[in-house]
Amino acid sequence: MAGEGDSAEFERFAAFLADPATHGGTRPERIDTHTAAVFLAGERAFKLRRPVDYGFLDYSTRARRRASALREIAENSRTAPGLYLGLAGIGDAPPRLIPPPAPESAEPVVLMRRFDAAGLFDRMAAQGRLDAGLMHATGKAVADMHRSAPARPCLRPLPELALAEVSAIDRLASVIGDAAAPVARLLREHGRRLAPAAAARPARRCHGDLHLRNIVLWQGRPAPFDCIDFNDELTDIDPLYDLAFLMMDLDHRGRRDLASVTFNAWAERMAADGEGEQVAYGGLGLLPLYRACRAAIRAKVAGLTVETCGGEGAADEARAYAELARGYLEAPRRPRLIAVGGLSGSGKSTLARALAGPLDAVVLRSDAIRKAMWGAEEAERLPKDAYAPEVSTEVYATMARRARMALAGGATVILDAAHLREAEREAVAALAAEAGAAFTGLWLDAPKATLTARVEARAGDVSDADARVVAMQAGYDLGKICWTRLGADDGPARVAETARTAISRND
């Protein structure tokens, strides 16, 4: 923690930034956290670090605060270009604001453009303004951040990460309450059991603190910002562990459906070039522990806020996050494979999306895989050659390979593909048996007129199917269909309900 002299100096600098005279008469808004104070004045934001040492974070000297501030500016400028304006400073005797670039002798202050706080994702979530389209874009943005990040050695093994949170939870038990002891025990057990799997995962320079409050709608696009800048052990990590923070935060807010959308968009983008396939789908057995560790971190941060700033709301938040961590670690996990098939326009993707959220499922879309193979965006139409039989064979093989990876981690997997050939359907059932997974095959039926109307009404869809494709498929010999047949004309809600009943029978 900070010494008395350091705290007094911090408060003197904070009082200077809180003074309207510093900002040409504008009275700033002050926001306090356990690591910094942020002052919002006009079109600018000023971030002043606290001189604290929590062990995992050390801002105890001006040199350390300056180094962290410079890293914050450099790292976040990559994901939110134009948001960070540089390193300002506060000069001593009397205090004065020094514009970027501030000298080493000045107290460092990160200078940012002030954004509309209504664009912060935590506020959007609270107001019900996050939707599947925005979170799909967010998943892709996070994947782009991870794909462009340099490879790094993982500096801290997973058991140590988990045990670090155990230590914090033990210390904050008076704030966290009854969940503290079981969460600490489960983190120890799962961390040790999964250590070999975690050690095999690749690491990259990641954000490190990727929850909803650290994503903003900036210039019309989702932009992660305010990454960890003080500890390489918390940023040189498995990208899946980075994403787990965002997924956990959505779970915490009752939006597991959006967590599923975010994960699947991220995974598709990570695996788009083939090289990221293992990163995206090969470590899903670790995901419950990763989410639990992230929930424990939020419980710790809320607990530290109680200690630093007080507040019953923060105490309630700490307890809620601890209970969420406990739920992740106690939930049973068994692999399950669900295949959705049918002619183009029958509603396969609609059904897959409806099932994915409640089942916390990995969705593998043949259309998205095909587009990625050709280096095309989702709404970009592919040439005829992209639908040659040998290409389709490769698409199904890729889908099966990714499903195998995910099932090995105990995940629920939904295959969204036509499955028009009997051999393709038999291969899916064999894959489930090989993985020891419960299997449900769902086949969507609809009149040709309905299928044609649906594909003709699409705009900007990942599928390229049109009326000509529907007419061609209608003439296929589909062979014997042993999957549960659903009437696609029954409406999406009824179809999803019937599908869930069929899935429950096979569990």
The position carrying tokens 């808004």 is 29
Whole-number pLDDT of residue 7: 84
Are 51 and 9 within 8 A, CB to CB?
Answer: yes
| Mean pLDDT of the chain, nearest integer | 91
How far apart CA 396 and CA 132 sit, in angstroms, is: 26
Whole-number pLDDT of residue 475: 87
Identity of residue 130:
L
> Which residues in the chain show pLDDT less than 50?
4
Q: What is the CA radius of gyration of the chain?
A: 25
Q: Quote the tokens at residue 328.
A: 């992740």
How far apart CA 321 and CA 108 sit, in angstroms, is: 33
Whole-number pLDDT of residue 285: 95
% pLDDT > 90, the chain: 69
pLDDT digits (tens, 9 = 90+) for 101-138: 999 999 999 999 999 999 999 999 999 999 999 999 99
Are 242 and 210 within 8 A, CB to CB?
Answer: yes
Rounded alpha-carbon distances, angstroms, from residue 60 to 38, 310, 437, 447: 18, 22, 52, 70
In angstroms, the first-to-last Cα distance of the chain is 52
% pLDDT > 70, the chain: 96
Are 260 and 182 within 8 A, CB to CB?
Answer: no
Whole-number pLDDT of residue 206: 94
Write the DSSP string, 52-65: -B-SS-B--SHHHH
Identity of residue 430:
A
Are 486 and 498 within 8 A, CB to CB?
Answer: yes
Whole-number pLDDT of residue 311: 64
pLDDT digits (tens, 9 = 90+) for 188-202: 889 888 888 888 898
Q: Quote the tokens at residue 314.
A: 């923060």
Identity of residue 316:
D
Whole-number pLDDT of residue 2: 52
Whole-number pLDDT of residue 358: 94
What length does the chain have? 507
SS3 at position 221: strand
Whole-number pLDDT of residue 489: 85
Strand partners, 36: 49
Contacts of 93 (CB under 8 A, 6+ apart): none
H/E stretch holding 338 reads strand 336-342
How far apart CA 287 and CA 125 sit, in angstroms, is: 22
Whole-number pLDDT of residue 421: 93
Which has the closest alpha carbon to 366: 446, 278, 463, 466?
463
The position carrying tokens 């359907």 is 425
Are 492 and 348 within 8 A, CB to CB?
Answer: no
Are 203 and 286 within 8 A, CB to CB?
Answer: no
Long-range interactions of 26-35: CB distance < 8 A, separation 24+: 32/309, 33/305, 33/309, 34/301, 34/304, 34/305, 34/307, 34/308, 34/309, 35/59
- Sheet with strand 44-49: strands edge to edge: 29-32, 36-41, 44-49, 107-113, 84-91, 96-98
pLDDT digits (tens, 9 = 90+) for 7-35: 889 999 999 999 999 999 999 999 998 89
Sign of CA dihedral 430, 431, 436, 438: negative
Which has the closest alpha carbon to 471: 449, 492, 493?
449
Burial of 93 (0-12, 13-18, 19+ CB in 10 A): exposed
Are 112 and 94 within 8 A, CB to CB?
Answer: no
Are 455 and 474 within 8 A, CB to CB?
Answer: no
Whole-number pLDDT of residue 466: 83
Question: What structural domains does the chain harbor?
Answer: 4-114 (no CATH), 121-330 (3.90.1200.10), 336-506 (3.40.50.300)
